[in-house]
Copies of this chain bind each other. A is one copy, B any other.
Amino acid sequence: MHRAASSESSIRALCQTIPGLDADAIDAARSRQDQLTKPPGSLGRLEDISVQLAGMTGVARPKVTRKAVFTLAGDHGVVAEGVSAFPQSVSVQMVANFLAGGAAVNVLARHVGAKNIVADIGLANEVPGDTSGLKSLRVADGTANMAAGPAMTPEQMWQAVQAGIDLANAEAEEGLDLAATGEMGIGNTTPATAILCAFSGADPVDVTGPGTGLKAEGISRKAEVIRRSLAVNEPDPDNPWDVLRKVGGFEIAGLVGVILGCAARRIPVVVDGFISTSAALIATRACPKCAGFLFAGHRSAEPGHDRMLALLGLDPILSLDMRLGEGTGAVLAFTIIDAAAKLLDEMATFADAGVDGEAE
């Protein structure tokens, strides 16, 4: 706990080190795109993504070789209010499934050649089976019930954010080129929705969705729990750390750390769905420059996600009606971002290939 006590100042200092985008690399990438053997602009978003990657990494022809998804798992005291279609036991069971390679995020990570980092940052129960592949970073046995008071103490929150930064730094040391955020935590659309409401002023009734599969009655109950959590805690929208601590979660705090840690090292981060995007809202409000290092992997089917993306000014790469989390949508977007980088790097120019330019 002595590390957590010193984390606040080091995290605030890290935020000051996050760089801007590299204008020279952006210009070089855009100039090369215009010389490649295709009508200018005809690769659409793929051209833009390649140019963004150049600006983020500071490399004119960036490569996306080492990819990793950070799947952080935590539990939520607010499940006592009946906000999820699945029991809390599923959080640790799904973590065991991640470690065994049987979950959706594992299949997709194998498909795109990404490493999957699984961490217990605040689960309430023990993970069954072989946990040798699990990063044990547990801050507490789940958050407190935010419908009755703050989800975390300040010390817990800073410890969870620092744990995410440390995970990012460890992968950065191994040469990480592209990161994705992912999570598991039964009940975690409830804090994510509360974060959206805290920043946007939206009424919970208007943005609360089914999460893993609530029916109409359950959604109404969940919206009422979110309304009560906001009323009890009065999170300050001008202080993102206050919002995170009072109505967030350990995995959300850890993902804020992953985003800050990657941005400080110029590593692009692909944000997954609803819960991950709530972490991006916290991170970008705590440190606006980190917004430059984010891609939105996909548009979630969870109803509040569009509103979150609008607050961030992010246009998602994929739109496949996914709403699973774990990092699945972000990992699938890896392959599109990788393709964009390869097109910029590997295509022939008009001059190389002896192809005539536009006649008009």
Question: What is the interface of chain A, defined by CB distance below 8 A to chain B?
Answer: 36-46, 84-87, 89-90, 93-94, 96-97, 100, 102-104, 107-108, 110-112, 128, 212-215, 218, 301, 317-324, 328, 332, 335-336, 338-339, 342-343, 346-348, 352-360
Contact = CB atoms under 8 A, between A and B. Distances in A.
Contact of A102 (B39, B319, B353): B353
Contacts of A36: 104
Given A42-B323, A86-B357, A107-B342, 14 more contacts: A36-B104, A42-B212, A43-B104, A44-B321, A45-B320, A46-B320, A85-B360, A93-B354, A102-B346, A110-B342, A110-B346, A215-B360, A319-B319, A335-B339
A43 B322 contact: yes
B84 A44 contact: no
B214 A348 contact: no
Most buried by B among A93, A338, A352: A93
Contacts of A342: 107-108, 110-111
Contacts of A353: 93, 96-97, 100, 102-103
A356 B86 contact: yes
Contact of A46 (B37, B96, B317, B322): B322
Contact of A94 (B214, B352, B355): B355
A339 B332 contact: yes
A108 B344 CA distance: 11
B102 A348 contact: yes
A5 to B, nearest CB: 37
16 contacts: A37-B104, A39-B213, A39-B324, A42-B213, A43-B324, A46-B322, A85-B359, A86-B357, A93-B354, A97-B355, A102-B346, A102-B353, A104-B343, A107-B343, A332-B339, A335-B339
Given A44-B301, A318-B318, A348-B100, A111 B339 contact: yes
A11 to B, nearest CB: 33
Contacts of A44: 301, 320-323
The copy count of this chain in the complex is 2
B43 A328 contact: yes
Nearest to A316: B319
A322 to B, nearest CB: 4
A106 to B, nearest CB: 8
Contacts of A37: 94, 97, 102-104
Given A93-B353, A93-B354, A356-B89, A336 B346 contact: no
A213 B332 contact: no
A323 B87 CA distance: 47
A38 B360 contact: no
A318 B111 CA distance: 18
Nearest to A273: B42
A101 to B, nearest CB: 8
A260 to B, nearest CB: 29
A192 to B, nearest CB: 15
A335 B340 CA distance: 14
A296 B197 CA distance: 37
Given A103-B348, A343-B107, A359-B84, A213 B40 contact: yes
A57 to B, nearest CB: 19
B111 A338 contact: yes
A81 to B, nearest CB: 13
